[in-house]
Amino acid sequence: MTAMPAARPRSPAVGYWIGFAVVVGLLVVAPLVLPPFWQRFATEILIWGLLAMSSDILIGYTGMVSFGHSAFFGLGMYGAAAALLTVKPPSLGLAVLYGLVAAGGAAVFVAYFATRLRDIYFAISTLVFSQIFYVIIFTWTEVTGGENGLTFGQPRLSLLGLGSDRFTPTTFHWFVLAVVLISYLLVRRITQSPFGQVLQSIRENEPRTRAIGYHVERYKIVAVMLSGLFAGLAGVLYAFQNKFAAPDFVFFVVSGEVVIFNVMGGMGTLVGPFAGAAFFLLLREGLSRFLTEYYLIPLGIIFVIMIIFLPQGLLGFLRRRLNA
């Protein structure tokens, strides 16, 4: 782990904002120029990236590896499903609200217990909690649809009562992009706030942070809850895109992929997880063309090699600049 970035004498990195504007510009234009398949692909990268970024709050900034993010993601999906299936007519706002409440509730529960543990014990306990949710969702067939999951229609786009319109793939992409951008800027602001600084000092030296007088457990609980909320938001978006919720998304494999995105892209950068998700999904797309489901064999090997030789991830070298 590198030391915390020192305060810079010169004002904000102009380079950072130029880069930011270029990437956002590209993402806005993407659905207009890409063929339908890749358009959907770009939207998906944004959603998985948002999920991975939520986990980065814990992995990269607080130094806690969560192996249970599938729980928050999945509960976000099921929460949205509940709103879309029970409330007539389906409402976008309510779906987001239900999803966030479900994910947030789960996050409070997990945070309360898991944050008392450290390092691998934290990782194992988050994994176990996500499996508890998985077993409940998988076996409670009457409510959750069990193995088959739930299918529902897409809500209509309506913002603050200003008319309502069907989502086209293009407007949906823009909607996701807007949500992701707001989330990113929010999380970035949080990590730079005094609260975020405390999280980073927990990562660097927990006993010392405690000795200074910070209530470390409380900070960790809030961090897990924040992370869970954003993961739930990603789940809601994913539910909108695919119009179904399935127990597979609560299973451990999703949590594992989230960690992979973070490691590949670069932990502690917030942008890295998006890059990691893009890298992973592109590789998967390319490899599964001729390897079908065995794509994980070369991908797993690449992952292990990256852990050994590139522990900072793809964007790790930009870490200081991205947090400036």
Residue ranges binding other proteins (CB under 8 A):
65, 113, 116-117, 119-121, 123-125, 127-129, 131-132, 135-136, 138-139, 252, 256, 259-260, 263, 293-294, 296-297, 299-301, 303-304, 307-308, 311
For other proteins, which is the closer residue by CB, 231 or 260?
Answer: 260
Cα of 30 vs its chain's centroid, Å: 21
For other proteins, which is the closer residue by CB, 36 or 298?
Answer: 298
Closest distance to other proteins from the beta carbon of 311 (Å): 7
Cα of 200 vs its chain's centroid, Å: 19
State the Cα–Cα distance between residues 176 and 49, nearest whole angstrom. Answer: 11
Give how far Cα 138 sits from Cα of 58, 249, 282, 311, Å.
27, 11, 30, 36
- Cis-peptide, bond into residue 90, ω within 30° of zero: no
Give how far Cα 211 sits from Cα of 3, 203, 214, Å.
19, 14, 7
Closest distance to other proteins from the beta carbon of 135 (Å): 6
For other proteins, which is the closer residue by CB, 53 or 263?
Answer: 263
DSSP H or E segment with residue 163: strand 162-165
State the Cα–Cα distance between residues 178 and 47, nearest whole angstrom. Answer: 11
For other proteins, which is the closer residue by CB, 27 or 65?
Answer: 65
Q: Using an 8 Å Cβ cutoff, are 103 and 72 in contact?
A: yes
Which residues is 162 bridged to in the sheet? 159
Closest distance to other proteins from the beta carbon of 47 (Å): 22
State the Cα–Cα distance between residues 3 and 197, nearest whole angstrom. Answer: 12
Closest distance to other proteins from the beta carbon of 261 (Å): 12
Closest distance to other proteins from the beta carbon of 63 (Å): 9
For other proteins, which is the closer residue by CB, 64 or 229?
Answer: 64
Listing DSSP states for 46-57 in one string gives: HHHHHHHHHHHI
State the Cα–Cα distance between residues 181 and 167, nearest whole angstrom. Answer: 19
Closest distance to other proteins from the beta carbon of 90 (Å): 32
For other proteins, which is the closer residue by CB, 23 or 304?
Answer: 304
Task: Name the residue among 50, 63, 45, 83 with its Cα closest to residue 228.
Answer: 50
Closest distance to other proteins from the beta carbon of 269 (Å): 17
For other proteins, which is the closer residue by CB, 2 or 168?
Answer: 2
For other proteins, which is the closer residue by CB, 81 or 127?
Answer: 127
State the Cα–Cα distance between residues 318 and 84, nearest whole angstrom. Answer: 41
Closest distance to other proteins from the beta carbon of 142 (Å): 14
